[in-house]
Chains A and B, each alone.
Chain A
């Protein structure tokens, strides 16, 4: 059965800390891995990763995919209170054309 597992499920850190969020997957016919940030209801897109070992970066956020070990990490440096959100990882599968979401990591940044 295809699955996406995120860890930790929740995380509380202080402003300025660096955090690493994990996403591991078991999905047949992998196409891409997606990271989203969800603050209220509508997730906002962060990264799409398709190739192993290539880091995607956007400001203080970065992400990398390891297709051999079947996982991805999302790093956030110098965290700010506005980074508080649920971070969702999802994997797209070819063939039966589906997307499998993890349960998310709930990140809370303390001022």
Chain B
């Protein structure tokens, strides 16, 4: 079974631009979560999508948005980029039966975003 894939792997943008990152989950997985990983802040939860609906949301400004398609692929968009948005953005997928207990998540390799 193919793992979680994220594209692109590296991205360089300038302040004020917008960016779209893509995540393809493991086949059969319906939940996709997005995280921001920075050296100072560690892993921070952005949002989770399940069956094309945002199910959970972290404490990020509205500039960060996402969506999920009917094939469970997900995109994350960041508008009006700031220098502080430079980070590794990770996507994780899980089967997620919604039991309320963390399902096993499978992480992708991440997209390294650098904002200049």
Contact = CB atoms under 8 A, between A and B. Distances in A.
Interface in A16-72: 34, 36, 38-43, 45
Contacts, number: 55
A40 B42 contact: no
Interface residues of A, number: 21
A104 B94 CA distance: 12
B57 to A, nearest CB: 10
A40 B43 contact: no
A103 B92 CA distance: 11
A85 B105 CA distance: 13
B102 A45 contact: no
B43 A43 contact: yes
Interface string B48-69: 1000000010100000000000
Interface of B: 33, 35, 37, 42-45, 48, 56, 58, 88, 90, 92, 100-102, 104-107, 109-110, 112
Interface of A: 34, 36, 38-43, 45, 85-86, 88, 90, 97-101, 103-104, 106
